[in-house]
Structure 1
Amino acid sequence: MHFLTKLLKKIFNRTTVCVIGILLQLTYLVVIFLSFGTQYTYSYFAFVLLGVILSLYIYNMDINPSYKMAWMFAILSFPIFGVMFYVFFGNSHSGDRLRKRMTQYNDEARLLLPQNNELMSALHRDNTAAEKQAKYLYNYGGYPVYANTKTTYFPIGEAKFAAMIEELEKAQRFIFLEYFIVAEGKMWGTILDILERKVKEGVDVRMIYDDIGCLFTLPYKYNEILEEKGIKCRVFNQFRPIWSAKMNNRDHRKILVIDGHTAFTGGINLADEYINEYEKYGHWKDSAVMLKGEGVWSFTMMFLAMWNFLTHSKPDEYSQYMPRPEEIADCRGEGLVVPFTDSPLDDEPVGENVYLNIINSAEDYVYITTPYLVIDNEMQTALILAAKSGIDVRIITPHIPDKWFVFAVTRAHYRKLVKYGVKIYEYTPGFIHAKNFVSDDKAAVVGTINLDFRSLYLHFECASWMYKCECIPDIKRDYLETLKVCQEITYSDCIHINIFKRIGRAILRLFAPMM
């Protein structure tokens, strides 16, 4: 009987039910179409007409041109399935009601994030390109520039995990966690033990995790399990069998804030593959950064704005989460930082524009690591123009992929980039998941933002832009060390490709904005 119960639970778990629900919806649409029977010709032309109207609508939308073209191609080439697919997956935005509510909480938070005009004046005197970057991040992201923030770079998940444990043990007032993926295992189990203990000590522990990110890694209603342990928990954008446009928008951020004075971000989720506890795609190379000091306030406000959005609650008294003066008295880090977030609900691609600003203002080099290279024409043009202008542009991507179709599109971008001087390397030991930009020994970004359409346009993301911080030499050093185990992609490699692979990549590239 016990065996039967376990079997039924596996068969009828949430994932299975949700997948069946979506398949039933698709089947329903197909059945409706086929029910026309002898009227097939009329129904087909009805879909063609609908496809033309839908394409005109998409053409006039204020969205990325590559995204437009991909959907228009799919809809006009395959009217029946293109229209159906767009209904389920095409709209990149949640409804206006959700957008207004999120904007409300963000606006309330940003009232407590004033720009530091004294630091901006200093930036103006020192470097106008850096000043423009900071201005952009405040004017369109809402996040100010900070000094007095110590930065520490972690070149691998194991190092970040050790630092997380050390800092969590010191928590006295609150711990905020927001992660895309959480998986049961050594990493999460160790952290959870500390969180349970801290709850008993009176620490306010809160957690947000993305539902689709954890769909296969956590039990159903895991938030209730955490609540029973005293950990306040909210699930971002719960996955439902009835698919809607808002399912496209995921919380891809990785944030840990401790007592308002220490914060972590980067590419590392709370799962064992990120600390190489087991090999999923060869050796897992990732990165993270720890901030200590005044700059942590922006990460605290990012989390609280999302928390209030998910709880539908009135904002807390934010001042209680500010760091105490004695807690940051010794945080006299070098340089300036701007922690920032990027939302898919405001039509402003902050992450992409920050990257473009770094590329366009580079004087010597731009070094990039990304797990995916699925870019639009604007990003491609910026990279090529920088290389043509004598800038040393290098990109490291994985050699062992986690998604074969995205990897195919990544490699499809190599030929033109390499032809015009961009140097591309693949990380041969396995999968590189780090999302880093470093340029001219002065500026760097470490965060969650991939060079793909989903990160740049559909997901909630976060990162820290850093200028002349003490961790920047470490980021560059890690990059140069990583190159030693990478394989450089030559132009010969790009052109000597099996014809069928080339055709397959070309077809997949047409649908790149949907990946």
Structure 2
Amino acid sequence: MKLKKLLSSLLSTNAAFVILLLLQIFFLLFMVTRLGERFILVYFLLIVLDIILLVYITNKNEPISYRMAWIVAISVFPLFGGVSYLFLKLSQQFPKSLDMRNQKQSKELLVQDKNVVKDLSESCPDSLNLARYISDYGLYPVYRNTDTHYFTLGEMQFDELIAELEKAKHFIFLEFFIISKGYMFDTISELLIRKAKEGIDVRLMYDGIGTGMLNSVKPFRRLEENGVKCKVFNPFRPMISSVQNNRDHRKIVVIDGHTAFNGGTNLADEYINRIERFGHWKDTAIMVRGQAVWNYTVMFLQLWEKAESDEIRKFSPPLKSIDDASPADGFIQPFSDSPLDEEPVGKRVYLELISNARNYVCITTPYLILDEEMTNALGFAAKKGVDVRIITPHIPDKWYVHMIAWNNYERLTAMGVKIYEYTPGFIHAKTCVADGLTAVVGTINFDYRSFYLHFECGSVLYNVSVIKDIVSDFEKTISASHLITAEECSKRPVVKKIAGAILNIFAPLL
């Protein structure tokens, strides 16, 4: 048991990244000792390479924080900084041509109903530009006739998920970043096997690093032997994969094309508080029924395989059967965000909600690693008199991320933003609500990795009654959280402040 835990730790996401980096360093050191007197020539060539890369990075169309992190890394570590950058870029797993193909396909499959846009402009005129942006650049249309249900905890979502999976008659699609053996996975596995034997098309996709190398073989063998189709997304390949980047961070379940689940909950027992890792685990999700489920179906199948549009259309249920079953208020726009293009849709959705808020903004996020643009947007909103409140974990899952977050606490509180830490434990929910009129629920953290490097997804809700439930849950969570004061920030030990400032420089690379 101890050996299994040790191996699990060694093969975790962060450990794999560190091991890969150390291997590169040891390789360079080995080459240096072997070169002897010729090392001076090699060192000179590396410096020339670094200078070329610094000029290249400085002029790239990438966020300034990301460029600055690499400029500092290459300048401080000239021996392997430039080589590491090249390794990272050359080992990207997905060509941009794949994203271009999906964009063309999305335009064929995801057609915006102009009548819905007209109704949105009349009902929610302030939201029209955001919906148009997501439709034009995220390629996912907005819908009516979609019912939504909000879950305040992972265990509540899990109970409803099991009930809905039992009703499946045609197909079940599941996609998770993390899958770990335990009660949650075992329960769903038995159900999926039973459904597959009934002739239902059951597919399960999981990330090769998020799930971990130990969890990516054995637990799924039995599923495959019993008819469940399993797929590893971007599997880890030592010395070839860039490990941390282009991960599938999405959490999606689609049932028969009429019901979908999306939120922060992965397929592991800590997410439903069956086991305790970082105190009480607070997560949220939504269940969607109706026309908008088609967006989830398309985004799943596009990542599953290079299917033709006609093949994907086979999974679209008759619209009448959906409309009759889903009378609903408001509008919903599920969307996906890809790291393969230069359009950070998730980040810009958050920025729009923050910038256009008139009264308040409520945010929950497990990670608060912000660039200058997001920091200024939050601070400017607070300075305008908007009540900006953010809830983060009190018990972190990554100590260095928590230290960087505290570095941001000091800057944000000085500008009037209110930061709360969820004292019972770890809050993993990713939600944002503006004025009780517009909200986002999904998988997108407030950090560089979610904004630029991962495949993510979420749902924007416009004037939907369930937004009241999200706000109510936020207020309840605030009552169990501690308000971080400017005095607490100023009294932090100098060593922690310095460490946080240094880590913040390299935050986009962590």
TM-score (norm 2): 0.94
Match for 2:98 among 92, 101, 104? 101
> Deviation at 1:318?
2.7
Structure 2 counterparts to residues 85-484 of structure 1, below 5 A: 85-89=84-88, 94=93, 98-215=95-212, 218-220=215-217, 222-245=219-242, 248-309=245-306, 313-315=307-309, 317-324=311-318, 325-484=320-479
Amino acid of the structure 1 residue aligned with 2:344: P
- Match in the other structure for 2:484: 489
Q: Secondary structure at the match of 1:256?
A: strand
Amino acid of the structure 1 residue aligned with 2:267: L
> Deviation at 1:290?
0.5
- Match in the other structure for 1:503: 498
Are residues 13 and 77 of structure 1, via their aligned partners in 2, closer, same or farther at CA, if it must alter by over 3 Å?
A: closer
Q: Secondary structure at the match of 2:314?
A: helix
Gapped regions of structure 2 (runs ≥ 5): none
- Match in the other structure for 2:83: 84
Q: Deviations over 1:223-250 (max 9, x none)?
A: 5442211011111001011234476110
- Match in the other structure for 1:46: 45
Q: Deviations over 1:80-103 (max 9, x none)?
A: 1322332344679545xx321243
8 A contact 1:52–1:76 mirrored in 2: no
Q: Structure 1 CA distance, aligned partners of 2:39 and 2:253?
A: 56
Q: Deviations over 1:89-134 (max 9, x none)?
A: 4679545xx3212431342133121112112122223333300010
Aligned length, in residue pairs: 506
Structure 1 range deviating more: 413-422 or 243-252: 243-252
Are residues 366 and 483 of structure 1, via their aligned partners in 2, closer, same or farther at CA, if it must alter by over 3 Å?
A: same
Q: Structure 2 CA distance, aligned partners of 1:114 and 1:316?
A: 15
8 A contact 1:344–1:457 mirrored in 2: yes
Amino acid of the structure 2 residue aligned with 1:36: L
8 A contact 2:93–2:234 mirrored in 1: no
Are residues 147 and 377 of structure 1, via their aligned partners in 2, closer, same or farther at CA, if it must alter by over 3 Å?
A: same
Structure 1 range deviating more: 424-433 or 31-40: 31-40
Structure 1 range deviating more: 63-72 or 314-323: 314-323
Q: Secondary structure at the match of 2:412?
A: helix
8 A contact 1:93–1:344 mirrored in 2: no
TM-score (norm 1): 0.93
> Deviation at 1:464?
0.3
> Deviation at 1:51?
1.4
After superposition, the CA RMSD in angstroms is: 2.5
Are residues 173 and 82 of structure 1, via their aligned partners in 2, closer, same or farther at CA, if it must alter by over 3 Å?
A: same
Amino acid of the structure 2 residue aligned with 1:432: I
8 A contact 2:91–2:241 mirrored in 1: no
Are residues 41 and 318 of structure 1, via their aligned partners in 2, closer, same or farther at CA, if it must alter by over 3 Å?
A: closer
Q: Secondary structure at the match of 1:61?
A: coil
Q: Structure 1 CA distance, aligned partners of 2:51 and 2:201?
A: 54
Amino acid of the structure 2 residue aligned with 1:319: R
